[in-house]
Amino acid sequence: AHVVCQPCFGCKYTDCVVVCPVECFYEGEQILYIHPDECIDCEACVPECPVEAIFHQDNVPEDQKPFIELNAEMAPQSPSITEKKEPLAGN
Ligand code: SF4
Ligand code: F3S
């Protein structure tokens, strides 16, 4: 599966959610999550993120590994997001 990592935190550009064919993005207050059981690894979302926050789970940088577990834990208990909205980062 793919994983939303540190650069998304406090940004939430949400460009990623509109391209996902299986709508597996879920929204936390500061960051988005990908549901690992729903992601089909199509990679459509990867180039959409302006801050390069999305990685395949095997390619998550060492210092961001905790995000793998965070996505898996939080996605199932967060609301689905499928439409782009105003980012948190005001730029
Ligand atoms: Fe969705 Fe594809 Fe990104 Fe997985 S890799 S979250 S299926 S767009
Ligand atoms: Fe976050 Fe990038 Fe999507 S900042 S909301 S992973 S486009």
Number of domains in the chain: 1
Could you list the mean pLDDT of each consecutive 10-residue stretch along the chain, which spans 91 residues?
A: 98 98 98 98 98 98 98 98 90 47
Residue 8 maps to which CATH number?
Answer: 3.30.70.20
pLDDT score recorded for residue 89: 73
Alpha carbon distance 50, 69 (integer Å): 23
Return the structure tokens found at 65: 């590994």
Residue 19 CA: which ligand 1 atom is closest? 8
Q: Would residue 46 count as lying in a domain?
A: yes
Provide the strand spans (E) within 1-91. Answer: 2-4, 25-27, 32-34, 54-56
Q: Would residue 45 count as lying in a domain?
A: yes
Q: Would residue 90 count as lying in a domain?
A: no
Q: Is 35 in the pocket of ligand 1 (CB under 6 A)?
A: no
Residue with CA at minimum distance from ligand 1 atom 8:
20
pLDDT score recorded for residue 37: 98
pLDDT score recorded for residue 80: 98
Q: Would residue 86 count as lying in a domain?
A: no
Q: Would residue 84 count as lying in a domain?
A: no
Q: Would residue 88 count as lying in a domain?
A: no
Q: Would residue 82 count as lying in a domain?
A: no
How much distance in Å is there from the Cα of 20 to the middle of ligand 1? 5
How much distance in Å is there from the Cα of 32 to the middle of ligand 2? 7
Print the domain residue range for 57: 2-77
pLDDT score recorded for residue 91: 47
